[in-house]
Amino acid sequence: MTTRLITGGTVVNATGTTRADVLVEGERIAAIVDPDSALAASVRRGDSEIVDAAGLLVLPGGVDVHVHLQLPMTPEATSSDTFASGTTAAAWGGTTTIIDFAGQRLGSSVRDAVEARLAEAQGQCLVDYGLHLAMGDVHDQSLKDVRSIVEEGITSLKLFMAYPGAWYSDDGQILRAMQCAADTGALVMMHAENGIAIDVLRDQATALGRTTAVWHGRTRPAELEGEATYRAIQLASVAAAPLYIVHLSATEALEQVVAARDRGRNVFAETCPQYLYLSLEEHLDQPGLDGVRHICSPPLRPRGDGHHDTLWNGLRTDDLSVVSTDHCPFCDAEKRLGVDDFRLTPNGLGGIEHRLDLLHQGVVHGELSLARWVDLCSTTPARLFGLQGRKGTIAPGADADIVLYDPTVEHVLGADTHHMHIDHSAWEGIAVTGRTRTVFSRGEPVIVDRELVGRPGRGRYLQRALSEPLR
Ligand code: URP
Ligand code: ZN
Ligand code: ZN
């Protein structure tokens, strides 16, 4: 068994920072050691490999709980990162755990969806991975299947108030799925946008010839995210089920989450870097390909309406619990399908590689502490999605998923330098400070001094426990 001592760095956990050495034995963290202790000195004299982390932050590997790799979004468009390329890009960015989705489409079975997705991911991933269920057809049999897959370690399910005719569930279906979640201990994740009203606005706009990318945003107004978020919270309250709002983008939605949490409800929400950085004015309201490249749902919001500031504030105050990426990249050939009609553009942006760096700017600008950064990107997502004790913490017994992060390196994000399988970047030209230098996944080096040494296929499937904060 390989033994390593990561020495001279600053260990950052969600609870705070400390100067400490980290002893890794095999796949696990064995001890956190005072660097001046006799124990540290004796380990240094022994035959452990010594990893010099002087000047670096020693972080728990990032946990990205919302990604879509090789997702056939439409018959014409499959998201462009495979399980191999997407998890490799994740590792480059310091993320050592991802959770993707098994998608049960209308008319298909939950069991088949799970088996098919497990087979697609099997032997492909570079870092460890788990699955949620994305539920597109709630009925007696699919709810029965949910009970068994929760026991098998798929302990969260996503429902959709958007995308009528595809993934949409009506309020009755949502209530039934929430009741099932309450019984089983699963966590319901909600895509909270009022899809029925959005489709009316969309059809009215396109009938008037309003088909450019910005109309994707204008026909999905923030009020309809706020309304759906409120409705999801009330339905979850009736079902006595906990609730996790995915990809929250708008002040109106956050207000509902805050109100529910203030009432003591088990309501959590994530946002994504695109809603913190990119905007309707600067990115969606652009002609041709530039505009459609930035189509995602919920849409990028107008900076002028204050959403971005509200979300940063929510991260500070813990009204927002998690930052995930909703990584769902498409190359220009697919994005271009909607240049003349936004409805034909596959929805989604790529960002699996940049989450830690983008959120680190919150630290650089004094919005977030180092501990809060780690909490949002690693510790709380691990705890909410049943990976407590294994992922998201530098602690004895946890998997040795460890990132050595240089907080001083300045670099510029863009398609020429990223490792994601996308021929453009939603983040082109954004300058950031801080970058992953070395990454260990279960004790094994996968990136060393900015060189890839890990191989796709080594990542392990994670059967997850029930969410820690809800037990
Ligand atoms: O535009 C997005 N968000 N694409 C991925 C699918 C989803 O709704 O999360
Ligand atoms: Zn969604
Ligand atoms: Zn998504």
382-393: pLDDT as tens digits: 999 999 999 999
Ligand with minimal distance to 74 CA:
1
Using one digit for the tens of pLDDT, what is the confidence trace for 134-148?
999 999 999 999 999
Ligand 2 centroid vs 431 CA: distance in angstroms?
28
The average pLDDT across 365-382 equals 98
Strand partners, 25: 3, 28
Ligand 1 lining (C-beta closer than 6 Å): 68, 191, 247, 296-297, 326, 328, 347-348
Ligand 1 binding pocket mutation candidate from 326, 335, 342, 352 (most atoms within 8 A of CB): 326
- When pLDDT is cut at 50, 70 and 90, the band that residue 471 belongs to is low
State the closest ligand 1 atom to the C-alpha of 162, by its place in the atom list counted from 1.
8
Check whether 437 has a pLDDT greater than 80.
yes
Ligand 1 binding pocket mutation candidate from 189, 296, 325 (most atoms within 8 A of CB): 296
State the closest ligand 1 atom to the C-alpha of 66, by its place in the atom list counted from 1.
9
Ligand with minimal distance to 335 CA:
1
Using one digit for the tens of pLDDT, what is the confidence trace for 30-81?
999 999 999 889 989 998 999 999 999 999 999 999 999 999 999 999 999 9
Check whether 309 has a pLDDT greater than 90.
yes
Ligand 1 binding pocket mutation candidate from 328, 334, 344 (most atoms within 8 A of CB): 328
Check whether 380 has a pLDDT greater than 80.
yes
Check whether 324 has a pLDDT greater than 80.
yes
The average pLDDT across 19-23 equals 97
Mean pLDDT score of the chain, rounded to an integer?
Answer: 97
Ligand with minimal distance to 66 CA:
3
Ligand 3 centroid vs 246 CA: distance in angstroms?
8
Ligand with minimal distance to 65 CA:
3
Check whether 288 has a pLDDT greater than 80.
yes
Using one digit for the tens of pLDDT, what is the confidence trace for 144-187?
999 999 999 999 999 999 999 999 999 999 999 999 999 999 99
* pLDDT recorded at residue 145: 98
Ligand 3 centroid vs 296 CA: distance in angstroms?
9
State the closest ligand 1 atom to the C-alpha of 68, by its place in the atom list counted from 1.
5
Ligand 2 centroid vs 191 CA: distance in angstroms?
5
* pLDDT recorded at residue 470: 76
Closest-CA residue, ligand 1 atom 5, reads 348
Cα separation, 338 vs 173, whole angstroms: 31
Closest-CA residue, ligand 1 atom 9, reads 326
Task: Mention every residue, 6+ apart, whose C-beta is less than 8 A from residue 162.
Answer: 168, 191, 193, 194, 195, 198, 228, 297
- Domains detected in the chain: 3-60+394-452 (2.30.40.10), 62-389 (3.20.20.140)
Ligand 3 centroid vs 67 CA: distance in angstroms?
6
Closest-CA residue, ligand 1 atom 8, reads 297
Closest-CA residue, ligand 1 atom 3, reads 297
The average pLDDT across 219-233 equals 98
Closest-CA residue, ligand 1 atom 4, reads 348
Ligand with minimal distance to 298 CA:
1
State the closest ligand 1 atom to the C-alpha of 191, by its place in the atom list counted from 1.
8
Ligand 1 binding pocket mutation candidate from 67, 247, 352 (most atoms within 8 A of CB): 247
